């Protein structure tokens, strides 16, 4: 208001000077300088006020969740471990009789999409607690002290919400805690450090308010990045792994998400669970949703097995693209993928679900495999088999076309990872080693020797299947997709011949 008043007065004075015949230019310059300085100061004041308003308005999301542990598929071990920790909050009087110190924090660690946030909400429902949540990124602020102020306000809001809803406990959940809880480095103090220090202070002072029992829960997929001060007992007392689901857990998750969908009697969720090794809970939810979308597009009244197979391909590799490759390029891709498929069946019979020539994501073609039973440990022979599958695509190109292409780059990278795994696990000719002490050149020499030997074995095995590659290539070029059962039938016929 003051700025506008000064501008009006200045214009009036300038007009009066012109009327008197006096040059008003010096006055106009002076007024312009005053206006500029005042507006810049006002901008800084406004900017600071905006930051303060953001801090004042940041109260997290305060609710009383309805999510129950029974609604979360799989993760039985994690749920059991979490319930045992929550019993300290529920039966605190009994714990005090034994002299047990209350648990202040529970850290949920695991890959993205495994249900850590759902677990935290179910914990609030299980303990009948107010649930106040925030993301670590909400506390990242360029203004000094604002992040720490938001941490204080988050805990204050949790206590107020518990009293307002007449609850005796509150759970503060911080997602992506690694954003503010990363390891502190020496030297210059960062704003992140002040925010982390405030969080540590709040956790140390949790026992002060006797009316409301507080519990801090946090989630991260990078536990190794967290500051040791957060992980010590008395802060985050319990570390619970929320890992990718196994086959039985995947079946439970698929069953939960398929409850409201019209499934065909031909659909076997057990087979879908078998085909989705390595999928997270979020990916499985997306899979059932994409299968329903495919059924809707085709006007089908029920979700058929083909819809789930297409949905698996989409979740794994992305939507089909409209890229049209040249004939000779498609031919090379077909031969490459058939090399992978033949070797996969030789290494692990019955593992190929389909061979496709249709582009998805960045891939021009692909072979989809399922691993059979979930595997977490591998022998030397099994790892060597996986390496041969990786090398078989380029080997087939070399045998049929007389040359290789850049399409094998990702295959070689994966084969190198498996070869390094052989060396570092003590399964190579070097025996047991310390991976940190071995020179990179020696590691490279050993892995190269392993890959060259397996490359020779792969080419020798594929050489006897050239007629099969020729026949299947014609089918792929015509149909673009070769079913796993059909491919195995052709493989058996050629083997018997």
Query: 106 - beta bridge partners?
Result: 217, 238
The three-class DSSP label of residue 315 is helix
**Contact between residue 55 and residue 154 where contact means Cβ atoms under 8 Å apart:** no
* Token digits of residue 224: 């190794």
Answer yes or no: 337 catalytic.
yes
The three-class DSSP label of residue 465 is coil
Going 445 to 448 to 454 to 459, the CA torsion angle's sign is negative
Token pair 């011949």: residue: 497
Query: 134 - beta bridge partners?
Result: 174
- HSE value, Cβ hemisphere, 13 Å, CA-based, for 4: 1
Catalytic site residue from 337, 345, 384, 397: 337
**Contact between residue 302 and residue 262 where contact means Cβ atoms under 8 Å apart:** yes
Query: Which of the 8 DSSP states describes residue 208?
Result: G
Query: Which of the 8 DSSP states describes residue 111?
Result: S
Cα–Cα distance for residue pair 202/235, rounded to 1 Å = 10
Cα–Cα distance for residue pair 267/254, rounded to 1 Å = 12
Cα–Cα distance for residue pair 437/92, rounded to 1 Å = 50
Catalytically active residues are: 337
């Amino acid at each position: 208001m003051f700025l506008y008043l000064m501008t009006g007065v200045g214009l009036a004075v300038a007009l009066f000077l012109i009327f008197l015949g006096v040059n008003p230019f010096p006055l106009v310059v002076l007024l312009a300088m005053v206006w500029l300085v005042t507006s810049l100061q006002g901008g800084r004041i406004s900017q600071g006020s905006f930051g303060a308003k953001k801090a004042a308005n940041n109260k997290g999301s305060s609710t009383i969740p309805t999510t129950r542990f029974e609604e979360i598929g799989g993760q039985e071990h994690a749920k059991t471990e979490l319930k045992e920790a929550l019993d300290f909050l529920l039966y605190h009087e009994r714990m005090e009789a034994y002299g047990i110190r209350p648990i202040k924090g529970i850290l949920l660690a695991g890959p993205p999409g495994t249900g850590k946030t759902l677990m935290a909400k179910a914990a609030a429902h299980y303990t009948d607690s107010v649930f106040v949540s925030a993301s670590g990124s909400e506390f990242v602020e360029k203004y000094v002290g604002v992040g720490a102020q938001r941490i204080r306000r988050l805990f204050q809001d949790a206590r107020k919400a518990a009293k307002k809803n007449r609850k005796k406990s509150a759970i503060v959940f911080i997602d992506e805690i690694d954003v503010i809880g990363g390891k502190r480095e020496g030297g210059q103090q960062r704003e992140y450090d002040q925010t982390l220090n405030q969080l540590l202070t709040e956790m140390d002072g949790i026992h002060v308010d006797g009316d409301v029992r507080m519990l801090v829960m946090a989630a991260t997929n990078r536990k190794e990045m967290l500051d040791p001060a957060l992980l010590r007992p008395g802060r985050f007392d319990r570390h619970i792994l929320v890992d990718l689901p196994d086959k039985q857990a995947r079946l439970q998750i698929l069953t939960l998400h398929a409850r409201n969908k019209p499934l065909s009697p031909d659909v076997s969720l057990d087979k879908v669970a078998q085909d989705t090794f390595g999928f997270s809970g979020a990916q499985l939810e997306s899979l059932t949703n994409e299968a329903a979308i495919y059924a809707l597009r085709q006007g089908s009244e029920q979700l058929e097995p083909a819809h789930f197979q297409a949905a698996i391909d989409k979740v794994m590799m992305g939507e089909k693209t409209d890229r049209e490759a040249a004939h000779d390029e498609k031919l090379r891709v077909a031969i490459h993928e058939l090399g992978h498929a033949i070797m996969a069946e030789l290494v692990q019979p019955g593992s190929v679900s389909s061979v496709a020539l249709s582009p998805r994501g960045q891939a021009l073609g692909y072979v989809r495999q399922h691993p059979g039973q979930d595997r977490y440990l591998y022998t030397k022979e099994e790892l060597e088999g996986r390496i041969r599958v990786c090398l078989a695509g380029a080997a087939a190109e070399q045998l049929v076309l007389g040359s290789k292409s850049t399409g094998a780059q990702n295959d070689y990278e994966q084969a190198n990872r498996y070869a390094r795994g052989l060396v570092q696990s003590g399964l190579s000719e070097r025996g047991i080693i310390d991976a940190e002490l071995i020179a990179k050149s020696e590691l490279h020499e050993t892995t190269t020797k392993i890959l060259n030997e397996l490359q020779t074995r792969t080419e020798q095995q594929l050489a006897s299947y050239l007629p099969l590659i020729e026949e299947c290539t014609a089918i792929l070029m015509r149909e673009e997709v070769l079913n796993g059962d059909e491919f195995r039938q052709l493989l058996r016929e050629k083997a018997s011949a």
